[in-house]
């Protein structure tokens, strides 16, 4: 938890309590359903929570923004972002039912009223549009874009701060992946935001609709 407070300081008491509860909740759920590797549970706040919050460090979502987290797994980046942005609506989806069970359990225990979750494949989501699609290391950028573009609202304010589109967390050499995607995304080096060893070669990738 200390590593979160190293970079963020203006939490309400309720947010602090929610962040502090994450380790116990994920440890408990991991005993029943293994959603986080054993070694990563010990580094939960750095490798999962702080990694998720890198998005919060570069994007200030306005109240009422609708965000979908594709392939959320155990709830990353969606759960930490939902704690950080209590006035923003998050819809967390995954094709694996047991992972959504964990998400629903954690969100309920934390009292997160701004989180919904669904066991579904992205292509099955109809008649819903979102301002932002977030995802963490789920698939190549081109696939993520193809899967998610039908879910995105069109941006109506040209030139304004990143408002609509895809934000994903990725690692490694992304040159070929970006080239194959046909997109011209903006890359932000997470190590520049949080200079921790584990964030070397980790990036936020932002692509506008």
Residue pair 91/68 in contact (Cβ under 8 Å)? The answer is yes
Mean confidence (pLDDT) of the chain: 93
Q: How confident is the model over 86-136, as pLDDT tens digits?
A: 999 999 999 999 999 999 999 999 999 999 999 999 889 988 999 999 999
Residue pair 118/96 in contact (Cβ under 8 Å)? The answer is no
Q: Is 115 annotated as a binding residue?
A: no
Tell me: pLDDT of 73 over 70: yes
Q: Is 136 annotated as a binding residue?
A: yes
Q: Is 93 annotated as a binding residue?
A: no
CATH superfamily, with its number, for domain 2-208 = Vaccinia Virus protein VP39 (3.40.50.150)
Task: List, in sequence order, the alpha helices (H) in the chain.
Answer: 2-7, 13-32, 38-42, 51-58, 78-84, 97-110, 141-148, 175-181, 190-193
Q: Is 71 annotated as a binding residue?
A: yes
């Amino acid at each position: 938890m200390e590593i979160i407070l190293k970079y963020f300081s203006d939490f309400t008491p309720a947010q602090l309590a929610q962040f502090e509860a994450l380790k116990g909740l994920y440890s408990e759920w991991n005993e029943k359903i293994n959603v986080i590797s054993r070694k990563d549970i010990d580094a939960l706040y750095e490798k999962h929570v702080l990694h998720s919050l890198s998005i919060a460090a570069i994007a200030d979502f306005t109240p009422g923004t609708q965000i979908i987290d594709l392939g959320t797994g155990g709830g990353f980046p969606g759960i930490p972002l939902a704690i950080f942005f209590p006035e923003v609506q998050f819809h967390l989806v995954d094709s694996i039912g047991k992972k959504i069970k964990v998400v629903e359990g954690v969100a309920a225990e934390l009292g997160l009223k701004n989180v919904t979750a669904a066991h579904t494949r992205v292509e099955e989501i109809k008649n819903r549009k979102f301002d932002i699609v977030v995802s963490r290391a789920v698939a190549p950028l081109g696939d993520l874009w193809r899967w998610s573009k039908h879910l995105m609202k069109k941006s109506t304010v040209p030139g304004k701060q990143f408002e609509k589109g895809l934000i994903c967390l990725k690692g490694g050499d992304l040159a070929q992946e970006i080239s194959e995607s046909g997109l011209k995304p903006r890359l932000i080096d997470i190590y520049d935001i949080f200079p921790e060893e584990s964030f070397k070669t980790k990036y936020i990738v932002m692509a506008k609709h």
